[in-house]
Amino acid sequence: MSDRPVVTRIAPSPTGMMHIGTARTALFNWLYARHTGGKFLLRIEDTDRERSTAEAVQVIFDGMAWLGLDADAEPVFQAQRADRHVAAAQAMLERGAAYRDYMTPDELAHERELARAEGRVIRSPWRDRGPGNYDETQPYVVRLKSPLEGVTVIDDQVKGEVTFHNKDLDDLILLRSDGTPTYNLAVVVDDHEMGVTHVIRGDDHLANAARQTLIYQALGWDVPVWAHLPLIYGPDGTKLSKRHGAQAVSEFDDMGYLPEAMRNYLAKLGWGHGDDEIFGDAQAIDWFDIRDVVAAPSRLDWDKLNHLNNHYIRQADPERLTDLVMKVHASRDWPLHDGDRARLARTIPLVRDGAKTTLELADMTVFVLKRRPLALPDKAKGLLTDETRARLSRLRDQLTASANWDVTSLEALIRGFAEAEGVGIGKFGPALRACLSGGSPAPDLASALVATGRDESLGRIDDALSHAA
Ligand code: GLU
């Protein structure tokens, strides 16, 4: 098996949201496929026809696209493959590895009671009756003829060896009485026919690995390499849920996280490369090995995620950030005007160092989008004493005369002005900032002036100064 090219897959069920745990599983499958030069596939497990709406499937496509996890083939839809699943069950019947179970509901209930009393799993008498006794007119289910003795060992890349006693595994149903395939059968047939060599998934499927191993063996197929990932918990160590702030991929997008920050962050949830905190895809692909995933559950850590997101915001192409921030303002129904995009593009590089999310970045850029005359907060009105007004008016004249309008020149101008006036910048800075921002968050004075632009800055100062004292 080891000399076959690696094929991994993510096999989400469309539930209407893409859980962050699914995103991490997808990332690990993608990284492992890229690391080994193999293939990464996507299968939509859409056999629950009620939940698997087109919208729910689209949520998965959108989540994968946003995360930048590209599959190497068109997605496979499990529900379309029912005939393949049934054919596999037939093959097992023919090999004597499965049997028809004609137990009636009453007989099954009785057997279940007996089994419970005797502390064993249920066994159907049809297991040993043989095809000669089958009655075509009666309903039946098809069950796997599981071994009664011995053990099934899952040699898991993350968990190590996990042993299941076969006597504890019942003869699982492969086809229901209506002829539809069951989940474990579908997964095995799909993984085999998709050529999947490594099944990397959440450890809530560990027990299924034992059952699926028995199906592989019954079909005479190679068993894939297993790797079961521990769950992601909330910061408080309990199962990740709504009250931890977010659990769906789309929520992280809505909260202003960048996909590359999410990839870096998720890669570090359960895996890592020494003490390296910040690494891009190329490094992660180079370093990633499924055997290095740790077995202990990991906890979502907002501080770490914010730290990474800030790093990637500082690195990001300003044009791209501008698009993202435009979207945030639009989603908040901020009335956007012609020229606002250019204003944002000018402002973002000046303020982004302090932003943990693109939502914060949007907050930090509101001041440039405001329209004259800006409403001044009460606090700002208090700052505009007669003395300060006179000083701002003198500063205004110097700003008007300034040949240059860049951060370095304006910093020097403001410093020189304070010196010439014989006061600290604290004597007029807060008032100037209020004139420029109308009380919204704004960066240092020189950056705020550059972001606002010369004419607009001078206009805003004039507006404030002409405001009745
Ligand atoms: N459809 C399963 C889930 O969403 C995954 C099954 C698998 O990876 O084998 O949990």
3-state secondary structure the chain: CCCCCCEEEECCCCCCCCEHHHHHHHHHHHHHHHHHCCEEEEEECCCCCCCCCHHHHHHHHHHHHHHCCCCCCCCEEHHHHHHHHHHHHHHHHHCCCEEEECCCHHHHHHHHHHHHHHCCCCCCHHHHCCHHHCCCCCCCEEEECCCCCCEEEEEECCCEEEEEEHHHCCCCEEECCCCCECHHHHHHHHHHHCCCCEEEEEHHHHHHHHHHHHHHHHHCCCCCEEEEECCEECCCCCECCHHHCCCEHHHHHHCCCCHHHHHHHHHCCCCCCCCCCCCCHHHHHHHCCHHHCCCCCEECCHHHHHHHHHHHHHHCCHHHHHHHHHHHHHHCCCCCCCCHHHHHHHHHHHHHHHCCCHHHHHHHHHHHHCCCCCCCCHHHHHHCCHHHHHHHHHHHHHHHHCCCCCHHHHHHHHHHHHHHHCCCHHHCHHHHHHHHHCCCCCCCHHHHHHHHCHHHHHHHHHHHHHCCC
* 118 CA distance to ligand 1 middle (Å): 33
Ligand 1 atom at minimal distance to the Cα of residue 204: 10
The contacts of residue 358 (CB under 8 Å, 6+ apart) are 256, 257, 258, 313, 321, 324, 325, 328
Query: Which of 212, 207, 169, 162 lies closest to 191 in space, CA to CA?
Result: 212
Most ligand 1 atoms within 8 A of CB, residue of 19, 45, 189, 204 to mutate: 45
Most ligand 1 atoms within 8 A of CB, residue of 29, 76, 201 to mutate: 201
- pLDDT digits 0-9 by tens, 304-353: 999 999 999 999 999 999 999 999 999 999 999 999 999 999 999 999 99
* Residue 356 in tokens: 């943990």
Q: For 403-412, what is the mean pLDDT?
A: 98
Ligand 1 atom at minimal distance to the Cα of residue 15: 4
Atom 10 in ligand 1: residue holding the nearest Cα: 12
Cα distance between residue 66 and residue 58, in whole Å:
12
**For ligand 1, which residues put their CB under 6 angstroms from it?**
11-13, 45, 187, 201, 205
Is pLDDT at 225 greater than 60 in this prediction? yes
Cα distance between residue 244 and residue 302, in whole Å:
10
Q: For 204-214, what is the mean pLDDT?
A: 97
Report yes or no: 309 and 257 within 8 Å, Cβ to Cβ.
yes
Is pLDDT at 192 greater than 90 in this prediction? yes
Residue 335: alpha-carbon gap to chain centroid? 30
Q: What is the largest CA-CA distance in the chain?
A: 108
* Residue 350 in tokens: 């000046």
Active-site choice (239, 242, 327, 379) = 242
Q: For 236-241, what is the mean pLDDT?
A: 88
Residue with tokens 């289910």: 141
Mean pLDDT score across all residues of the chain: 96
Q: What is the pTM of this model?
A: 0.94
Cα distance between residue 313 and residue 339, in whole Å:
23
Query: Which of 136, 134, 141, 126 lies closest to 177 in space, CA to CA?
Result: 141
Helix pair angle (454-466, 445-452), 10° resolution: 110
What pLDDT is attached to residue 242? Answer: 82
- pLDDT digits 0-9 by tens, 23-54: 999 999 999 999 999 999 999 999 998 999 99
Is pLDDT at 246 greater than 90 in this prediction? no
Residue with tokens 């003829």: 145
What pLDDT is attached to residue 240? Answer: 86
Ligand 1 atom at minimal distance to the Cα of residue 9: 8
* 122 CA distance to ligand 1 middle (Å): 26
Most ligand 1 atoms within 8 A of CB, residue of 30, 43, 187 to mutate: 187
What pLDDT is attached to residue 243? Answer: 87
Known catalytic residue at 159: no
Ligand 1 atom at minimal distance to the Cα of residue 45: 1
Q: Which of 9-13, 58-62, 245-249 has the lowest mean pLDDT?
A: 245-249
* CB burial of residue 377 (10 Å; 0-12, 13-18, 19+): middle
pLDDT > 90 fraction of the chain, expressed in percent and rounded: 93
